[in-house]
Amino acid sequence: MPFKHLRFGKGFSVALGNKRGQAATMVIAPGDCEGGPDNKHRGADQWLFVTSGSGVAILGGRKHRISAGTIVLIERGTTHEIRNTGRTPLETLNVYVPPAYTSSGNELPRGRS
């Protein structure tokens, strides 16, 4: 059974996965953001769990405050942006079903693994 000790470094990093799902870490610096008004995963649902920090998740144009302990389901096809509005790094654990990225962090075409 694969396992990995997570290290939250800078940016986005695929941590572990198989053909059915995938986990990745993401760290956003204060004042920065990931995603945008056109960002969406065509073929995967994303579960985003905030491990530390605070910010705003903009899902389909609607803003939601997020902080440590918040979990968000970003369903496939939903536009989304995650903004760090706090003073410390915003760290998240992200689970994609099915996988959305290659091991190097490039987005997979819809329905590929």
Predicted pLDDT at 110: 67
pLDDT of residue 42: 84
Q: What is the distance between the alpha carbons of residues 87 and 98, in angstroms, rounded to a whole number?
A: 33
* Bridging pattern class, strands 80-84 and 33-36: antiparallel
26: nearest Cα among 7, 43, 39, 4: 7
pLDDT tens, residue by residue, 62-82: 999 999 999 999 999 999 999
CA atoms within 13 A on the CB side of 89: 12
pLDDT band at 37 (very low <50, low <70, confident <90, very high): confident
Distance CA 113, CA 19 (A): 6
Per-residue pLDDT at 2: 81
% of the chain beyond a pLDDT of 90? 75
Averaged over 47-69, what is the pLDDT?
Answer: 97
Kindly report, residue by residue over 13-36, the tens digit of the pLDDT.
Answer: 999 999 999 999 999 999 999 999
Rounded to 5°, angle at Cα 41 from 39 and 113: 140
**62 compared with 112, residue with greater pLDDT:** 62
* Cβ pair 113, 61 in contact under 8 A: no
Please report, as a single letter, which amino acid is at residue 63: K
Contact 71, 34 (CB under 8 A): no
pLDDT reported for residue 113 = 47
Please, what are the domains in the chain?
21-97 (2.60.120.10)
